Amino acid sequence: MQVPRILLVDDHILFRKGVAALLQTQDDLEVVGEAGDGFEALEKARETMPDIILMDITMPRCSGLEAVKILKREMPSVHIVMLTVSAEESDLFAAIKNGAEGYLLKNLEPEQLFDLLAGVRRGEAAISGTLATKILHEFSRPDEQLAAAGVAADELTARETDVLELVASGQTNREIANALCVAENTVKIHLRNILHKLHLKNRVQAAVYAVREGLVDASETT
């Protein structure tokens, strides 16, 4: 597997350098650039074409929330994970709605960060259980973007529905593959098709959709 290329975006230089040094201790991670705000992140992303962007929220000139929307529009395949001190629900919900595929607090342990980044490489959401619960309860309420997904719901195959149920229950791609007796790459293909058919941006929104439509009970995800 190709070593994932990571771009770090944070206006606090010492913190950014510390995270860079930490990531560089891992043979299976490569830091390809750093930026101090959202505008610089866009420039650096164009130069380095990273696989993953770890980005703060509160930054000068262009915040992380604004940058997510711009970056995902221009580079839809890049995985963006917020790394922030903000546990505010408004920031969390805005980041996910704008296309972020993860939301991590800066007080996590290094090993947790490594494990979550490995999950991102497998197409999994890098979000702690507590924050994931907040997301599910918030997005279980009607939302225009997720409501639009309902129009295409009947286009899902039986196997895609099975995959969606397991995604919503918090299972990893590997666990889903084992449960359905298929290859992990097959699960990734199913998930990609699900997102396309439901007009959703990422795995988190797919899980929210499944809960809202009653495919899995929200209590099963906690």
Comparing CA positions, the residue from 111, 121, 110 lying closest to residue 102 is 121
pLDDT of residue 222: 44
Name the β-bridge partners of 6.
31, 52
Phi-psi region at 114: left, alpha or beta (left = phi > 0; alpha = psi -120 to 50): alpha
Cβ(31)–Cβ(24) below 8 Å: yes
Q: Determine, yes or no, domain membership for 179.
A: yes
Report helix, strand or coil for 104: strand
Share of the chain above pLDDT 70, in %: 81
Going by pLDDT thresholds of 50, 70 and 90, the confidence category of residue 164 is confident
Boundary-marking domain end, from 137, 154, 186? 137
Domain around 181: 143-216
Boundary-marking domain end, from 122, 137, 152? 137
Tally of domains in the chain: 2
Examine the pLDDT at 135 and tell me if it is beyond 90. no
pLDDT digit string (tens) for 39-66?
999 999 999 999 999 999 988 888 888 8
pLDDT digit string (tens) for 89-104?
778 878 887 888 888 8
The whole-model pTM stands at 0.65
**Rounded distance between C-alpha atoms, residue 19 and residue 3, angstroms:** 17
Q: Are residues 125 and 175 in the same domain?
A: no
